[in-house]
Amino acid sequence: MSFRKALQLNNGITIPQIGLGTWLSKPHEVENALVWAVEAGYRHIDCAYVYGNQDEVGAALKKVIPSTVRREELFITSKLWNDAHRPSEVEKQLDITLSQLGTPYLDLYLIHWPVAFVPGRGLLPNRAEKPGEAEIDQDTSIVDTWRAMLALRSTGKVKAVGVSNFPIQHLEAITKATGERPVVNQIEAHPLLPQDDLVEYCKKEGIHITAYSPLGNNLQGKRLVDYPEVKEVAERLGATTAQVLIAWGVSRGYSVIPKSVQKDRIVKNFEQITLSKEDYEKISEIGKNNHVRFNIPITYSPKWSINLFDEEIEREAQTDYTVKLE
């Protein structure tokens, strides 16, 4: 069964600890997945403008509101894409998202990345002088964007604002400039990438962590669910390997948003188990001397010529841009 636990954010509202991720879902998959999820008890839905499926999410919401759930019972997150970082564009893109989802407000709105793209050139604008690389807007700082995000709260269109994929130095920059911390920092986190320093910093500063890709990333051949340690714990507890990995994230005190479009897995992922201290440590050992980050923009197409996380592949590349902090 699900524990249906909700965690309090630094502005007083609560976020359900287990949510449904919608990233990397193929067209026409999300609508059914979301309906199944809500029927199974999920109340936390994670979306983003760039995923290109918010219309499907909106269609699903029409099917479950109010027949299965009231809007106030759901916690819906979406994210501002890089091409709308200029302050004049922030609310415009929010309005498109609200229209796509068919809801008058979001519970949480995040800056998707601390990287701005030149607006008006599409979601992934190519550099004219360097085809294959994204054109990054060096005139807009993350502080400019964060101030515009903070202003959204007075519109009634968002209940809380936060960030995603922000390392410590970027969190410090926006907080120092505005005196206001993000409510949430959504990051990639799993046993191969525990991000202990960032998690500890956010805990100290009262910034809630939501972990995406808590099961790893199946696109790159490193399936966490196939690790012998995960299988052993799952078999002993009579659980699925996904349930073990979700429980690992829950044990760390943050929210997790596993993604699936298969009904049985959606249901199973919401049926929580508890890990003992010994089992938690066994799973944690997977990442010792085995650091893997799956989501690195310099590997995208077009690639982002910027070092965000100081990963080896970023350090070795000749990057042209930095994040503008002020």
- Which residues are tagged catalytic? 51
CA 60 to chain centre: 20
Question: In whole angstroms, what is the distance from residue 171 CA to residue 199 CA?
Answer: 12
Do residues 293 and 107 make contact, with C-beta atoms less than 8 angstroms apart? no
Can you read off the two tokens belonging to residue 52? 């290109």
Do residues 241 and 191 make contact, with C-beta atoms less than 8 angstroms apart? no
CA angle (205, 208, 213) in 5-degree steps:
130
Environment class of residue 193 by beta-carbon count within 10 Å: exposed (0-12), middle (13-18) or buried (19+)?
A: buried
Angle of the 241-251 helix axis to the 228-237 helix axis, nearest 10 = 100
Environment class of residue 13 by beta-carbon count within 10 Å: exposed (0-12), middle (13-18) or buried (19+)?
A: middle
Q: What are phi and psi of 51, to 5 degrees?
A: -65, -25
Q: What is the identity of the amino acid at 166?
A: F
Question: In whole angstroms, what is the distance from residue 211 CA to residue 117 CA?
Answer: 25
Helix (H) or strand (E) holding 209: strand 208-212
Can you read off the two tokens belonging to residue 230? 């995960």
